[in-house]
């Protein structure tokens, strides 16, 4: 099959440096293992410390990318202008009430980052207490992490990562005068205020594992902070948060499918953490405090799609848990939250969410539901800063409908539209079509598919298609609005989301059906969606560009090996493609926790053999591949830069076609690419320019 994007003659060739290790009697030969820097932890914090030979290779690949994509520069600039034209430059959030103040954020025209503002609710001038643009101006990359306002509303705790490594520095700012105290705490994860002077925080070790909880008194020397909790199981990460009631600090330690919770009363922070229920294999539970009760969102007792239980605060162990909202076939309880007088939860039916609520003390049978009408949509909820309130805020969106923020009054059942996302360059939802359909997979299972296209696009098999997927960790892809996608859709593309197994769109079984020795269901589902789109004349196999990032990059890499003939091109963003090597290496910070998803190939030969059978890096073969664009981040702690680099090197040395293969490594950022609301558009424009080029649009 002819392709429209051929390789240039001067592509980089990585050195072959023999390396081998023997596992379960199998020699794993890896000539590109040298691309993993021996000082990778140091280089993650300071990319300039990357060994010279590795840096030279990555830069050579970047130069090749720039040369190969040079004829798309004007197109990329045009795409950025279009996408930026759909963003309201002087945008602001809907204010959140908190006592005597209302808090909000605002963007100034041209600004990459927001201003944090509070205004007296009784009247008075607004106060800008954090200008993120000022903080970010000295850095190429800047990500604002956790922020939390102290209960007395005098101090802001805020954290920032300045190189993409996700090591965050915590600072304390006086909200009244807008200045920071003269000290910081390094490598901080989640944070939670107990009172106006006491903050709990989680800290990472040198291996990027968040495993220690400390208690800090504002203004004191951090070296004097008290270690409250230490997690010694390398599979588990630790988070800390404040219950909305304000009564407890919660310490949660866990991995993907298992956790354990401890609490500390905010009235006595010196109290040793109290375990709600000891960890048990495969059991997840999450607590929400209201008066003398904990509501527990859990999969205990084989409640695969979760249920809600309740238990007295004075006797919170599992032996005392009582069913409240029971397991029901076809319904997954996604999340739970509480106000002082209300219990709220989100359910998912047939891949679409609903909001349920019930007043305190009322029978669950009286619960009411907030419903929505479109075929495909997404909602997100914001319980707000106040606990004692009847108001509840949620955001509604669909592929054709820009986000709408509603306040809902539980008592009056009135829904008030507070804000609609403005598209300055114009947008008419009636110009676009969104539909939900189902594609039969290899084993007869029906896979949900969300389709977006312009009403003038002909469904006769000639339209190009961007097919997006993920399919891991139970993460569901939401049918939400993206103004950037319109730059493809307005050019005649059909944009498709494949809700493949591995997410939870169809419940927990949908996730479990793609773990361990079922992982290839994800890949078969994705291929089946493509074949369905071709059969139904949405597009043609010469016109499908596939895209996925991180574990979605694993999906892209796998289906490239399995069916390279189906695709016009492929975009693999920070792809998890060297699965076997990574899951074998327990020294990598994320690996031990990953064994609950993929199996432990070091201890289990069956897991080793199965992962080896699909790992994209291990299954590159001499065959024709379509044009491929791969991205990486040199300080990425989630998918380390050497995974995509090694994959590209092996692909280039093995494949039999002359189609372009490009690796673009961001040398100053990590997993999420460029920071800032406009700078990030450049990454999207590169991907879209590639898709347009390979489909000749």
Positive or negative torsion for Cα 309, 313, 315, 316: positive
| Contact status, residue 544 vs residue 498, Cβ threshold 8 Å | no
- Under DSSP, is residue 446 helix (H, G, I), strand (E, B) or coil? strand
Distances (CA, A) of 490 to 138, 266, 494: 37, 54, 9
Question: Does 490 participate in catalysis according to the annotation?
Answer: no
| Contact status, residue 387 vs residue 245, Cβ threshold 8 Å | yes
Distances (CA, A) of 324 to 287, 288, 292, 682: 14, 14, 15, 48
Paired strand residues for 309: 296, 323
DSSP, residue by residue, 89-138:
TT-BPPPEEETTEEEEEE--TT-SSPEEEEEETTS---EEEEEHHHHHTT
Question: Does 339 participate in catalysis according to the annotation?
Answer: no
Which one is catalytic: 288, 478, 499, 671?
Answer: 671
User: Rounded to a whole number, what is the distance in angstroms from the first to the last CA of the chain?
Assistant: 18
Nearest CA among 208, 211, 217, 153 for reference residue 185: 217
| Contact status, residue 36 vs residue 656, Cβ threshold 8 Å | no
CA distance 325 to 270: 35
Burial classification of residue 295, based on how many CB atoms lie within 10 Å of its CB (0-12 exposed, 13-18 middle, 19 or more buried): buried
Which one is catalytic: 441, 550, 596, 669?
Answer: 550
The beta-carbon contacts of 682-685 under 8 Å, at least 24 apart in sequence, are 682/76, 682/80, 683/631, 684/79, 684/83, 684/484, 685/76, 685/77, 685/79, 685/80, 685/83
Which one is catalytic: 225, 615, 636, 675?
Answer: 636
Nearest CA among 153, 184, 187 for reference residue 171: 184
Structure tokens at 536: 């139904």
Structure tokens at 574: 């920070």
CA distance 571 to 557: 9
Tally: H helices and E strands in the chain: 13, 38
Structure tokens at 2: 């002819």
Altogether, the residues listed in the chain come to a count of 697
CA distance 269 to 118: 29
CA distance 82 to 656: 37
Positive or negative torsion for Cα 341, 103, 379, 637: negative
Question: Does 388 participate in catalysis according to the annotation?
Answer: no
Nearest CA among 158, 140, 144, 184 for reference residue 47: 140
Q: Strand 127-131's sheet: what is its strand order?
A: 96-98, 101-106, 115-120, 127-131
| Contact status, residue 615 vs residue 578, Cβ threshold 8 Å | yes
List Cβ neighbours of 414 (8 Å cut-off, separation of 6 or more).
408
Known catalytic residues are: 550, 636, 671
């Amino acid at each position: 099959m002819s392709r429209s994007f051929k390789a240039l003659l001067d592509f980089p060739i990585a050195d072959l440096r023999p390396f081998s290790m023997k596992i379960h009697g199998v020699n794993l030969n890896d000539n590109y293992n040298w691309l993993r820097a021996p000082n990778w932890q140091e280089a993650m914090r300071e990319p300039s410390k990357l060994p010279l030979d590795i840096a030279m290779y990555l830069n050579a690949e970047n130069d090749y990318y720039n040369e190969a994509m040079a004829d798309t520069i004007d197109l990329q600039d045009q795409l950025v202008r279009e996408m930026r034209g759909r963003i309201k430059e002087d945008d602001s959030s809907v204010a959140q009430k908190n006592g005597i103040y209302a808090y909000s954020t605002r963007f100034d025209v041209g600004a990459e980052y927001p201003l944090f503002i509070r205004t007296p609710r009784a009247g008075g001038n607004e106060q800008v207490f954090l200008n993120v643009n000022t903080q970010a101006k000295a850095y190429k990359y800047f990500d604002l992490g956790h922020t939390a306002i102290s209960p007395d509303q005098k101090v802001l705790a805020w954290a920032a990562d300045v190189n993409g490594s996700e090591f965050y520095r915590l600072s304390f700012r006086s909200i009244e005068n807008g200045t920071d105290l003269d000290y910081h705490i390094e490598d901080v994860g989640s944070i939670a205020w107990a009172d106006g002077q006491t903050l709990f925080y989680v800290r990472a070790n040198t291996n990027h594992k968040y495993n220690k909880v400390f208690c800090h008194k504002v203004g004191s020397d951090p070296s004097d902070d008290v270690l409250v909790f230490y997690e010694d199981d390398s599979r588990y990460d630790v988070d800390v948060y404040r219950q909305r009631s304000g009564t407890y600090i919660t310490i949660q330690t866990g991995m993907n499918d298992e956790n354990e919770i401890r609490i500390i009363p905010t009235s006595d922070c010196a109290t040793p953490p109290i375990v709600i229920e000891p960890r048990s294999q495969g059991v997840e539970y999450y607590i929400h405090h209201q008066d003398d009760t904990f509501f527990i969102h859990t999969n205990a007792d084989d409640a695969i799609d979760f249920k809600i239980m309740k238990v007295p605060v004075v006797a919170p162990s599992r032996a005392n848990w009582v069913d409240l909202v029971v397991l029901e076939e076809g319904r997954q309880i996604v999340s739970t939250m509480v106000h002082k007088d209300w219990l709220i939860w989100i359910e998912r039916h047939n891949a679409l969410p609903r909001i349920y609520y019930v007043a305190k003390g009322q029978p669950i049978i009286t619960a009411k539901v907030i419903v929505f009408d479109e075929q495909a949509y997404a909602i997100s909820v914001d319980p707000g800063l106040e606990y004692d309130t009847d108001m509840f805020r949620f955001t509604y969106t669909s592929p054709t409908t820009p986000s709408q923020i509603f306040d809902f009054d539980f008592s009056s059942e009135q829904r008030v539209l507070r804000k609609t996302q403005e598209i300055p360059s114009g947008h008419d939802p009636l110009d676009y079509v969104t539909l939900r359909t189902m594609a039969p997979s290899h084993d007869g299972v029906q896979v949900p598919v969300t389709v977006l296209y312009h009403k003038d696009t002909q469904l006769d098999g000639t339209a190009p298609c961007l097919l997006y997927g993920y399919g891991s960790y139970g993460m569901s892809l939401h049918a939400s609005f993206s103004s950037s996608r319109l730059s493809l859709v307005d050019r005649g593309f059909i944009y498709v989301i494949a809700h493949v197994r591995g997410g939870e769109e169809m419940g927990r079984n949908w996730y479990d059906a793609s773990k361990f020795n079922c992982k290839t269901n994800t890949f078969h589902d994705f291929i089946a969606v493509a074949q369905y789109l071709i059969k139904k004349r949405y597009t043609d196999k010469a016109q499908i560009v596939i895209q996925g990032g991180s574990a979605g990059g694993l999906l892209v890499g796998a289906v490239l090996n399995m069916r390279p003939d189906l695709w016009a091109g492929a975009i693999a963003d920070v792809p998890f493609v060297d699965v076997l090597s990574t899951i074998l290496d327990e020294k990598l910070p994320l690996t031990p926790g990953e064994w609950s998803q993929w199996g432990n190939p070091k201890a289990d030969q069956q897991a080793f053999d199965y992962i080896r059978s699909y790992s994209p890096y291990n299954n590159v073969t001499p065959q024709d591949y379509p044009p491929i664009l791969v991205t990486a981040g040199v300080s990425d702690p989630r998918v380390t830069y050497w995974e995509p680099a090694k994959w590209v090197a092996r692909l280039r040395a093995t494949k039999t076609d002359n189609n372009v293969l490009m690796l673009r490594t961001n040398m100053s950022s990590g997993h999420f690419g460029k920071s800032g609301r406009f700078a990030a558009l450049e990454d999207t424009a590169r991907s879209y320019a590639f898709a347009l080029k390979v489909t000749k649009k």
